[in-house]
Each structure stands twice: as structure tokens, then as C-alpha cells.
Homo-oligomer: A and B are copies of this chain.
């Protein structure tokens, strides 16, 4: 009986692909085992439990999302950075719906990698928005607003919640332009530099 040659990293990667194909709720150890070519209990040589696996997939998604946003903003700032991040965000979420949902709805457990990845993502977005001249709670409001906007749209889109056939790309572009204008407006309230 030849071995499958699994390890923890491969198992998590396969789980992420399964989640992308079958949905975050469709991620099961039974499905993962057959995809990996082993029997279900063999997975426990590489993971602690289904919940632990979900945390790993969540951390993987956060790391990948952070990497995608990071490379999207190099050399950009302000409005250009915001638009670039918005595009990269939606592109990643549509390409990897399972791991994207994992980044939001994973169990809020104690996983150092997951927490650290979330903090890094927050810092990245905050830095990218620094050109808007916000500080303190205003900067936090801006990060939250941008995150809520992008997440809301993408989450609804991946849940097929937009019933009408109207161009979804255009709706997204206008929404991003709107949030860009809104955050820029906050900045002028903060820094009356005229």
C-alpha cells in the first residue's frame, strides 16, 4: 500500500481548495479524505480536529489576501491605492470564495497565525489610507468603512444575493468610487489646510 505522502501543509491546501469548490459549509473531513486519497481517520495524523483545520484555512486565506493586497498597492497611495486594493480584494474573494469566507466566519478561536494575519491586514490597509491624512479614530473609521464596503459587496456577490442581471462590475466600481469620495471628505474635515 503506497503512501499518500501527506503533511499538514498539503492537507490545509487541499482543504482550502475543497472549501473553494464546495463552499465553506461544505468543507468536511469525509470529503477532504477522499480528495487526499486516504481514509478519514488518517487525516488526524496531520490535523487536530475539524475546527482546528478551519482555523488553519482561515489563517491561510488571511495570509493570501494580505499578500494580494500588498502587491496591489506597491507604488500607489491615496485614491489609486484604494482602488487597487478594492480590485485585488474582490478578485481574491471571487477566485477563492471558500477561503475568503473562512477569513470572516471561521471560529474565533485562539490561533496565533490567524490573529497575527488579521493584525497585519489591518496595518496594511491603514498604511495604504495614510495619504488621506486621517488620524486616530478617524483612521480606524476609514479602515472599517472600507472593509465593510468591500466585504459587504463581495459577500453578497458570492452568495448570489444580487438577483438582477445588471452589470455587477459597474456597481462595484461606483461603490468604490463612492467610499473613496466619502473618506476623502472626512479628511478635509480633519485637516482644514486651505
User: Interface of A with B (CB < 8 Å)?
Assistant: 25, 104-105, 108, 118-119, 122, 137, 140-141, 144-145, 147-153, 155-156, 159-164, 166-167, 170-171, 174-175, 177-179, 181-183, 185-186
Contacts and interface: CB of A to CB of B under 8 A. Distances in A.
A149 B147 CA distance: 9
A149 B144 CA distance: 11
Contacts of A147: 152, 156
Contacts of A185: 178, 181
B155 A104 contact: yes
For the complex of A and B, list the 6 residue pairs with the smallest distance between their C-beta atoms, beginning with the closest.
A152-B152, A178-B182, A148-B152, A148-B153, A151-B152, A145-B175
Contact of A152 (B105, B155, B160, B183): B155
Given A141-B170, A149-B152, A178 B178 contact: yes
Tell which of A105, A148, A162, A185 has the most Cβ of chain B within 10 Å. A148
A148 to B, nearest CB: 4
Given A104-B155, A104-B156, 9 more contacts: A141-B174, A144-B153, A145-B171, A148-B156, A149-B175, A155-B155, A178-B182, A178-B185, A181-B182
A163 B104 contact: no
Nearest to A177: B182
B122 A171 contact: no
